[in-house]
Structure 1
């Protein structure tokens, strides 16, 4: 059972002072690749001293890739978790590397049985090296691989069944996929094992030339909060976290977004 986290925000060095003084921040999430064990930023150390949970969120394990898991990357994530006293860590259902090349993006995994077998093997390998549970996040995609054998919800459900991982559901990514790919939000929420929900990501994006981009540089849309509300109708999430990765607004605007998320969760 995942502990109650409340409402949080992604810690970024550009807004470290903001995060420290914002009201209503129950926990924070850090990008694991941006921190080094033994050399934590002073702001992160301060938050831990205050008792604020700090969760490492990785972006480079490439668990959906054909290559074996890189033990060094997993070890880095595990070391951060231990130093931070984190209850869990997370990454994405995606791949970022193939054929020796790094895409620099979170690429969606083909939803086939064969791809699921590869993902499951990599997740199990990572779990065996990690000191805490692993949660995996659904990603935003601008394309779908052909010949899918499973819906996204069923794909995640079978992943959880075979690995006992947790889920980190990004409602902004879910909204983006509904806009761009026609994903059925209700079906997705009905198919995933909500009892394995660790927490939720909420973020803003922008539309360009008819395509919605999950940029994390804009305010959270009412439509994204609506997806969060539809999730809340089914389950009481242990936590929900606001992501912002650029074009940072005022403290008051960030506080208002946190308050809006809290209001939806009730």
Structure 2
């Protein structure tokens, strides 16, 4: 197993959304929260977040628009907003995506993969260092789900992230759902990525549901987490004890009981057991149904 993870101990959490505020407030077994940074104003936090913070639940601001993967440096206003969110929420860290989101004044409207070249790595390194200097807490970067790969890639995703970590000391937010998506869509073996990633720098983990259509996996965060992704979580936990694991759910919200069951499934996968208590450690992702 890898060495002691670098992030704060968080536990099992869920992404806070306005549609889930009452559900989360009355749900047992939620240890921490994540909130989309662009959806909150630090000076006027939602009452639900203030209540949950008062109960002692850590809240991590999760950015979607910083664009550290672009050729342009991160915008000062976006960095200031992330910093203000972290301060207002008393957050232990901030997370963002290793993604391209804009260029030349145009917004991509999606978290696009970064060309994994040495030249791009130099640019991303400079952008990450700039972000780290502007933030009052550590930064964690998330691997993204891709529908395509760049033709001139020189490094695997894991190699790119590993070298970025070595250069900057940035933490990792490993999204096992995105690893699964890239396995389906690009043929990038998810378990091999886990073996190559510097998991000693792990901050926390994402899990989420989606659906496959015509051979393409769509990471929608709108369905129950597939068993294949929970198997990947078990594989990750066999390599390192994650500081935290967080469930994302962004639309078509289920009942309180269904969400509680999803969190129970996450805990079982972390322990290497199925929901019925039988062991699952060592299975191949996708082998159980």
Q: Normalization by structure 1: what TM-score?
A: 0.99
Describe how 1:12-161 pairs up with structure 2 within 5 A: 12-161=17-166
Describe how 1:215-226 pairs up with structure 2 within 5 A: 215-226=220-231
Note the C-alpha offset of 1:186.
2.2
Partner residue, 1:196 = 201
Instruction: Name the SS for the 1:66 alignment partner.
Output: coil
Is 1:233 matched with 2:250? no
Alignment size in residue pairs: 266
- Residues 184, 215 of structure 2: 8 Å contact kept: no
Deviations for 1:51-88, whole angstroms, at most 9, x for unmatched residues? 00011000000000011110110110001101111000
Partner residue, 2:265 = 260
Note the C-alpha offset of 1:7.
0.2
Instruction: Extract unaligned runs of 5+ from structure 1.
Output: none
Note the C-alpha offset of 1:22.
1.2
Is 1:187 matched with 2:220? no
Distance 1:128 1:220 in 2: 36
- Residues 191, 232 of structure 2: 8 Å contact kept: no
Note the C-alpha offset of 1:264.
1.4
Distance 2:229 2:52 in 1: 28
Q: Normalization by structure 2: what TM-score?
A: 0.91
Distance 1:184 1:212 in 2: 14
Note the C-alpha offset of 1:21.
1.0
Instruction: Extract unaligned runs of 5+ from structure 2.
Output: 1-5, 272-289
4+ residue stretches of structure 1 with deviation over 2 A? Answer: none
Distance 1:121 1:43 in 2: 37
Q: Equivalent of 1:175, from 180, 183, 186?
A: 180
Alignment RMSD (CA, Å):
0.7
Distance 1:218 1:249 in 2: 9
Note the C-alpha offset of 1:104.
1.1
Distance 1:24 1:186 in 2: 28
